[in-house]
Structure 1
């Protein structure tokens, strides 16, 4: 009998649109980028805790937790192959999907044997749910469909800042069509700001308001981070910006003061 936790993971994987529409992918570039960054960070922490450095970044962590732990049941493995065979899927995708199922089963049976770390595969499962698989290009980049990301190093990723939340409200709030650059007032007060460029047309926006969303910033923002000081703002990394957005959502629209 299949473990219920593993079965729930399979249900999520079965619902993924592995070959999504290009326009949908472009509208979710930012959340998928953030989710991949968070997965790489967590994978670094788990790899260190489980002596799985050689397998980082895309690995089945249960192989390192307990090499003798039962493999995915044949019926689950067959379903997974069926789900992925029609898609352009690289082995890391298959490996992490299998790992997510096995870790769910391992957690259900032996929760005390797990390190005290945030769930390894949840960011990646959400990534898949928001647009399908990723690819590896010949230069070693991760192609997230709409943006390329360097895997970086285990040490660098593990030391990176955590994503403040995996809540759908945050993921939806950061997503938008266009090339996005984030800013904040130079005194580090006030809301998250962004310049969003769509087909060459810039939109300067701030997060907040009664509707808790993006609206006109009311001030011009720089065309590039190098010009930030001239406009009285500072550039924000996307994880920093996500933290500001999440704080506003959690506080009911009141931007953080520090």
Structure 2
């Protein structure tokens, strides 16, 4: 039975994706110029033991067909408990290790490039892209994947999973940050570089939204004036104001 003959359930939750629907055990979303590269990357990660949604070509409407991953979004339960955050850190490490040596060539659309990229990364490892189904943890929405670095990708993930957002309890956030980085198994160099890089990464997200608003680039331009701009400006300030707390947590 074709997708057109089956019920399509519109999936919600993302900020930047166009119309995404579920059809049976699959997800259908727009085919992008980067989709060939993304599908190939996912196939490589799967071969190397990472649980990811695999691509299955295009449907009769030309949409990308991916595995549907059942479960709930991590953002619905955020901030997450430290033991779960620890497991997420370990998953991010598996993704990074499995990405090592994968050629960077391909067509990519990295919104916030890293300096001297040397590793293919998801680039949006956050609670809004993590599906939880019992003990199963799966990152979805790989459309923004592309060349980056461990540190740059880790900094963004750490902000999200440690819940380093305005109004958060600093002690609790520091505890989650330590759990995340311990789960990742970060070495001393990464731990020392991470606090300041988290500030830079939050600032870079705000800059992307601001520039998109100025240039009319969607959907990020609209996101800038509908709360996301203020959120990331506040996040940058919050992370910067508590650098000593993060450093102490990571030095334990």
TM-score range, shorter chain: under 0.3
Q: TM-score, normalised by structure 1?
A: 0.24
Larger Rg computed on CA atoms: 1
With CA pairs under 8 Å and 6+ residues apart, which has the higher RCO, 1 or 2? Answer: 1
